[in-house]
């Protein structure tokens, strides 16, 4: 729901710590693509999920292009900022075509329904975003960087996480299927959801996330998708070495 949560006056929602101000989770993967010897390197950018806060996040991060978007699932807090891709898509379209959106079949169906004015072949809106829905394969290459699909469960819903180079992003997780652990070996950075301490039917608790983090063995684990029950400073003091709460604007170097 984001923090502060509407209608709440708890200690975290009224905290003066800026790290307790939480927009909905999203990830920007940005790198320089080496061009020819006489050409400057070109910046590339991939986004994972466009939630309701995508516009604000993109402005803060200085995003001026998006080469592709990957979706984890079709819940509101992960897709409702899709239309804010529109101005960025015009630039990408001029350079080579619509922005590809990679999504599971279930997520694609929801995007087509909610954003029918963008994706319907009968849409007449002249300035609709230049976007192209693409099937989500086991591995997808975007300008030479591979994004690997990681099967996950969010309650009874099958969703996906992603591995890119030495990092992986797993949000809204309630269970990691046994076969997915082999895809998460040798990580430097693991971003993993941990909603709160109290059990939830479709989200991991801090205790569950710590168990998975220990098994996966990344050098650093960042906990995300954090509810207002977890204060940043207080929670971090209780976490083991190599695990910390993520916060809005966090940037880490990743080997791609």
pLDDT of residue 21: 97
Question: Residue 162: CB partners within 8 Å, gap ≥ 6?
Answer: 48, 70, 72, 147, 148, 149, 150, 168, 169
What is the Cα Rg of the chain in Å? 18
Within a domain: residue 16? no
Q: Give the count of domains, the chain.
A: 2
Within a domain: residue 225? yes
One domain, residues 148 and 230? yes
Within a domain: residue 93? yes
Question: Residue 147: CB partners within 8 Å, gap ≥ 6?
Answer: 46, 70, 102, 139, 140, 141, 162, 163, 164
Q: Which of 143, 159, 183 is the last residue of a domain?
A: 143
One domain, residues 138 and 175? no
One domain, residues 48 and 113? yes
* Nearest-angstrom CA–CA distance, 178 and 174: 13
CA angle 207, 212, 216 (to 5 degrees): 150
pLDDT of residue 37: 67
One domain, residues 158 and 240? yes
Within a domain: residue 56? yes
Within a domain: residue 98? yes
Q: Which of 117, 143, 169 is the last residue of a domain?
A: 143
One domain, residues 163 and 200? yes
* CATH classification at residue 201: 3.60.15.10
One domain, residues 130 and 193? no
The CB density around residue 93, as the number of other CB atoms within 10 Å, is 15
Within a domain: residue 173? yes
* Nearest-angstrom CA–CA distance, 81 and 119: 15
State the DSSP string of 187-249: -SEEEEE--BSS--SSS-BHHHHHHHHHHH--SEEEEES--TT--HHHHHHHSPTTEEE--TT
Task: Find where tokens 């003091």 sit.
Answer: 237
One domain, residues 127 and 174? no
Q: Which of 95, 126, 143 is the last residue of a domain?
A: 143
pLDDT of residue 197: 97
One domain, residues 82 and 192? no
One domain, residues 67 and 119? yes
One domain, residues 119 and 168? no
Q: Is the dihedral of CA 43, 47, 53, 57 positive or negative?
A: negative
Within a domain: residue 9? no
Write out the chain's pLDDT in tens, 256 residues. 899 999 999 999 999 999 999 999 999 999 998 776 667 788 999 999 999 999 999 999 999 999 999 999 999 999 999 999 999 998 878 777 899 999 999 999 999 999 999 999 988 888 899 999 999 999 999 999 999 999 999 999 999 999 999 999 999 999 999 999 999 999 999 999 999 999 999 999 999 999 999 999 999 999 999 999 999 999 999 999 999 999 999 999 999 9
Within a domain: residue 235? yes
Residue-range definition of the domain harbouring residue 109: 24-35+42-143
One domain, residues 121 and 217? no
One domain, residues 129 and 148? no
Distance of CA 232 to the CA centre of its chain: 20
């Amino acid at each position: 729901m984001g923090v502060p949560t509407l209608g709440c006056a708890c200690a975290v929602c009224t905290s003066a710590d800026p790290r307790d101000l939480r927009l909905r989770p999203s990830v920007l993967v940005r790198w320089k693509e080496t061009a020819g010897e006489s050409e400057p390197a070109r910046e590339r950018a991939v986004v994972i999920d466009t939630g309701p806060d995508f516009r604000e996040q993109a402005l803060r991060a200085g995003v001026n292009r998006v080469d592709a978007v990957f979706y984890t699932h079709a819940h509101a807090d992960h897709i409702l900022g899709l239309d804010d891709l529109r101005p960025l898509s015009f630039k990408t379209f001029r350079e080579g075509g619509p922005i590809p959106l990679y999504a599971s079949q279930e997520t694609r169906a929801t995007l087509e329904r909610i954003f029918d004015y963008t994706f319907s072949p009968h849409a007449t809106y002249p300035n609709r975003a230049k976007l192209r829905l693409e099937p989500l394969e086991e591995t997808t290459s975007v300008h030479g960087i591979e994004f690997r699909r990681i099967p996950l469960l969010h309650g009874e819903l099958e969703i996906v996480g992603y591995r890119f180079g030495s990092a992986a992003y797993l949000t809204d997780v309630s269970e990691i299927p046994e076969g997915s652990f082999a895809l998460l070996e040798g990580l430097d950075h693991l971003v993993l959801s941990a909603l709160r301490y109290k059990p939830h039917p479709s989200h991991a608790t801090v205790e569950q996330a710590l168990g998975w983090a220990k098994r996966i063995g990344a050098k650093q684990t960042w906990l995300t998708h954090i509810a207002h029950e977890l204060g940043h400073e207080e929670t971090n003091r209780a976490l083991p070495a190599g695990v910390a709460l993520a916060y809005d604007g966090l940037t880490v170097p990743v080997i791609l």
